Amino acid sequence: MIPKSHPRYRSLVTRERLAGCARSGIVSWEGLTAHGRGEAFDYLLGEKTTESARLAERTAAAMLTSARHPVISVNGNTAALAAQEIAALQKASGAQVEVNLFHRTEERVQQIEDLLRSAGADVFSGEAERLLPLDHDRAWCRREGMYSADVILVPLEDGDRCEALVRMGKTVIAIDLNPLSRTARRATLTIVDELTRALPEISRACHDLTQKDKKHLTESLNNHYLLSEAIREMTERLNHALD
């Protein structure tokens, strides 16, 4: 047990949770290393939501609530870290929730769907088909779900699938702490923030935004600006790291 007084209590508890979820099969072993990469970038951000990330989160809320068919794509890490936050965002935005996995087995899909349902999410399941133009298992999705989405939120996404979804003409919103990843650079909108901080901010904004705010946010989206602000914040912290 980690004592609450430990300065890194929160991140150590998160690691314990992910390790437990890896043992039960919800998180893949590769997912654990992806989390480590995320942690490193969060360290550079000072483990807080920056002003530009908040702007990205409000823009995400505007896009999700204005969409014809919004979908939240959930993988093992996302379910392990934020099942309740996903359920809350689904309620706030009206989006479908669908599981999509890189290391896919029917058993893992079932486990993750059960975890999401026990957190209160209404999971869209049923017959999956190989519908996305990818040569690995992330190609599997549902015709009436992700395949038909116009706006899709992809927390902790892989670059290949992000590119494929953009090529299919979808508006892709990524949550990724690494502003240099292919996902971050290819997505329509990138939120450079930690998943469990980002999701509640998006939900809050779904409730708060007026129609006028939504129009203004979507029309003024500039992802290059959002990414360069994230890099500037990290560089700034590094420049003063030894002060």
Pick from 77, 46, 62, 69: which is nearest to 158 by CA?
Answer: 77
Instruction: Give the one entry of ligand ATP, Mg ion, none that residue 164 binds, where binding means its C-beta sits below a cut-off of 5 to 8 angstroms depending on kind.
Output: none
One residue of 57, 113, 158, 201 binding Mg ion per CB under 5 A: 158
Show Cβ contacts of residue 68 under 8 Å, excluding neighbours closer than 6 positions: 150, 151
What Å distances lie between residue 234 and 45, 46, 102, 179, 193, CA to CA? 5, 8, 29, 10, 12
Nearer to ligand ATP, 182 or 204 (CB): 182
Instruction: Give the one entry of ligand ATP, Mg ion, none that residue 176 binds, where binding means its C-beta sits below a cut-off of 5 to 8 angstroms depending on kind.
Output: ligand ATP
Nearer to ligand ATP, 46 or 94 (CB): 46
Q: What burial letters (b/e) apply to 109-145, b meaning 16+ CB within 10 Å?
A: bebbbebbeebebebbeeebeebbebeeebbbbbeeb
Nearer to ligand ATP, 98 or 194 (CB): 194
Instruction: Give the one entry of ligand ATP, Mg ion, none that residue 200 binds, where binding means its C-beta sits below a cut-off of 5 to 8 angstroms depending on kind.
Output: none
Q: How many CA within 13 A on the CB side of residue 215?
A: 3
**What is the C-alpha R_g of the chain?**
17
Nearer to Mg ion, 34 or 234 (CB): 34
Q: Compute the least distance from the CB of residue 189 to ligand ATP, in Å.
A: 14
Nearer to Mg ion, 159 or 200 (CB): 159
Q: Compute the least distance from the CB of residue 43 to ligand ATP, in Å.
A: 11
Q: Compute the least distance from the CB of residue 158 to ligand ATP, in Å.
A: 4
Nearer to ligand ATP, 151 or 162 (CB): 162
Whole-angstrom distance, CA of residue 234 vs CA of residue 193: 12
Q: Kindly state whether residue 157 participates in binding Mg ion, applying the rule CB under 5 A.
A: no
Q: Compute the least distance from the CB of residue 174 to ligand ATP, in Å.
A: 8
Strands 140-141 and 151-155: what pairing? unpaired
Q: Compute the least distance from the CB of residue 178 to ligand ATP, in Å.
A: 4
Q: How many CA within 13 A on the CB side of residue 241?
A: 10
The residues binding Mg ion (CB under 5 A) are 158-159
